[in-house]
Structure 1
Amino acid sequence: MKEKLVDLFEYTYHFNKEMIRYISEHISKVDEKTISLINHTLNAQQIWNSRILGEKAFEVWQINPFESLNEINHQNFLKSIDIIQEQDLDSRVEYQNSKGTKFENSIFDMLFHAVNHSTYHRGQINSLLKQNGMDPILTDYIFYKR
C-alpha cells in the first residue's frame, strides 16, 4: 500500500511540476484564476501534510510568489513521502478545516485526498488553459505510467 501511495505522489509531483513549467512558459496568456488554482493546488497539499504533522499551514487561497512554486511543490513531495514512510497510515488524526470545523480521518485518507484534489484542480487548470487558447497538458495517470 505504501509503495502505491508513493507512486501516486510521484505522479502528483511530476504533473504539478509540468503544470508550473507550462504556465511559466505561457504566463502572458494565463489568467488570474489559473494562477489562483495552481497556488491552491500546492497550498492544499501543504495544508494536508501540516495537519498530519501538526505544523503551521498555508492559507487555502494564498498566492505565493510564482518563482517559489517549484520549491513548494518539491517540499510538499518530500514531506508527503516522509509521512508515508514514517507514519502508520491507519492512524487517525484530528484536525480543523479552514472554517474551524473539527474532523478526524486516517492518514491514508488524508493523503489520498491530497492526490485526488491535485488531479481535480489540474483538470480545472487545463480547462482554463484551453479557454485561453493554449493546449492542455495531458496529465492523466496513465500518461505518467506509459
Structure 2
Amino acid sequence: MRSPDAITVNTVAPYMLTALMDKPATLIYLSSSMHRTGSTDLRRLTTGSASYDDTKLWVTTLALAVASRWEGTSSHAVDPGWVPTRMGGAGAPDDLTAGHQTQAWLATHHDVTPHTGGYWFHQQAQTPHPAAQDQDFQARLVEALEGHTGVPLH
C-alpha cells in the first residue's frame, strides 16, 4: 500500500490522460473510501513516499478540480467499494457487480445531482475528504502534477 507504483497508477496516469486528451463530456475517476485518510503533503508525490490512501485523495481532488475548471465536462470520483478482487481479497464485503454500476450509471445518465464534482458510492453522492473540495488544495495538486510531469492541465 506504500509504493511509487501507487502514485503512478492512481494519480499520475489519470492526470496525464486528462491533461493530454481533448475535453470529453464526462470523466469518471476511480477513488476509494481510503481517500479519507490520505495526506495533503504533496512532497510525497515527488519523493515516492505516498500511501495508497494519499493517491486516492489526490485522484479524488483531481476529479473535483477538473469539475470546477472544465466547463461542459462532467467530472466525478467513484468509490466502487471493497470488492472481492485479487487486490481486495476473497473476504471483501462489497458486491463485485455493484462495484462497477455507479461508473456505468454516471457515464450514461445525464440527470444526476450533482451534475459534476460528485464523489459517489453505489449511486449515492457522498461527502469526500474536505481537502478534495478545497480549491487551494486543488490548485496546489494540479501545480504539483504539472511540475512532476511537465504537462500542463489546460
Which bin holds the TM-score, normalised by the shorter protein?
Answer: under 0.3
TM-score by length of 2: 0.27
Q: Which has the higher contact order (CA 8 A, sep 6+)?
A: 1
Q: Which has the higher strand share?
A: 2
Q: TM-score, normalised by structure 1?
A: 0.28
Greater percentage in helix: 1
